[in-house]
Amino acid sequence: MSSIKAWIKAARLRTLPLSLSGIIVGTALARKNDFFEISIFVLALLTTIGFQVTSNFANDYGDGVKGTDNEDRIGPARALQSGLLTKKILKQGILIASIISMLLAIALIYLAFWNGARQYFILFLALGVLCVWAAIRYTMGSQPYGYKGLGDIFVFLFFGLVGVLGSMFLYTKSINLVALFPAITIGLLCVGVLNLNNLRDVVSDKKSGKNTLVVKMGFENGKRYHFLLITIAFSCLIAYTLIEGLALTESFYLIAFVPIFLHLRTVMITKEPIKLDVELKKLALSTFLLSILFHIAVNNFL
């Protein structure tokens, strides 16, 4: 396999739509209040992609070095695990991806705040640094938080609250409380994707000492936890719809929950972790679909 294909494999492009969902929803909320700049939108998308790719490289490296990616793992083989990239080369890739991500973040923050709201520049710069730290320390280092069952919290915070409310703030320089509901929805759905990953890998994670929440609570309780994530996410979006007084024609984004609930039924009746691998893509793409429909609906694009 060529080096380009190896890096594409390590970047795990299939994860990118999920990471973009928060930016799309946050932009929709700003646009609903007549705040929008195409340059901020594009830079926010690119910055998020940078953070996600950095995270994927670091995850590949961390799990590979710790032996978590082994013959027991169910998902697709990772770049380090399969020998496509060496530890040294992959570590260099993590550094380069981190630098690119921060440069994109600085450009985004400068564009959003330098002319008129400089007081927020340092705050968002710190958030950018935290995003890179969270991306790397999920599986890397001597005390990776992903190995302590804390991954769910960080995904909820960065993919949900920071992704949605942070991107909204880039345009509006303010946040309204009702925006919390769609932010929580996206955050919980992203946690759901991580939980699916942990349900699928529960056997290999337990053997290698990766103590995810699923390892701690067990496979069946992990499925019940998944049920709560999905139902609370749906309830929050229903709450947003009712508070905003949206008509049926303005809330068609809820259709995206049809495949999500079908997915949930499959998860609840599944007994073998290996059979959950296909469900990751379903939930990730359904979340991305939800963000697109939400953006269209709340801004009356149809």
Question: Which tens digit of pLDDT belongs to each residue from 31-57?
Answer: 999 999 999 999 999 999 999 999 988
**Quick check: 179 and 187 in contact, CB under 8 A?**
no
CA distances, 212 to each of 51, 100, 154, 238 (Å):
22, 30, 13, 30
Q: Where are the beta strands (DSSP E) in 1-139?
A: none
Per-residue pLDDT at 1: 43
Per-residue pLDDT at 161: 95
Single-letter residue type at 254: L
Per-residue pLDDT at 96: 94
pLDDT at 272 over 70: yes
Q: How many H-runs (helices) and E-runs (strands) does the chain carry?
A: 13, 0
**Quick check: 192 and 233 in contact, CB under 8 A?**
yes
**Quick check: 122 and 152 in contact, CB under 8 A?**
no
**Contacts (Cβ under 8 Å, ≥6 apart) of 77:** 69
Single-letter residue type at 58: A
Single-letter residue type at 201: D
What mean pLDDT is reported for the chain?
90
Domain residue ranges in the chain: 16-298
**Contacts (Cβ under 8 Å, ≥6 apart) of 13:** none
Determine which of 28-37, 137-146, 172-181, 188-197 has the lowest per-residue pLDDT on average.
137-146
262 pLDDT tier (thresholds 50, 70, 90): very high
CA distances, 232 to each of 84, 191, 216, 227, 267 (Å):
40, 12, 22, 8, 16
Cβ-count burial 155-181 (b if 16+ within 10 Å, e if not)? bbebbbbbbbbbbbbbbbeebeeebbb
pLDDT at 74 over 70: no
pLDDT at 68 over 80: no
116 pLDDT tier (thresholds 50, 70, 90): confident
> Rounded to two decimals, what is the model's pTM?
0.93
Q: Token pair 């609370």 is at which residue?
A: 232
Q: Token pair 């490289």 is at which residue?
A: 57
**Contacts (Cβ under 8 Å, ≥6 apart) of 89:** none
Per-residue pLDDT at 63: 79
**Contacts (Cβ under 8 Å, ≥6 apart) of 16:** 49, 52, 53
Question: Which tens digit of pLDDT belongs to each residue from 202-227?
Answer: 988 888 888 999 999 999 999 999 99
Higher pLDDT pick, 78 / 50: 50
pLDDT at 162 over 60: yes
CA distances, 37 to each of 14, 31, 41, 190 (Å):
27, 9, 6, 26
pLDDT at 190 over 60: yes
114 pLDDT tier (thresholds 50, 70, 90): confident
CA distance 170 to 127: 12
Higher pLDDT pick, 302 / 134: 134
pLDDT at 260 over 60: yes
- Mean pLDDT, residues 109-136 taken together: 91
161: which DSSP letter?
Answer: I
**Contacts (Cβ under 8 Å, ≥6 apart) of 3:** none
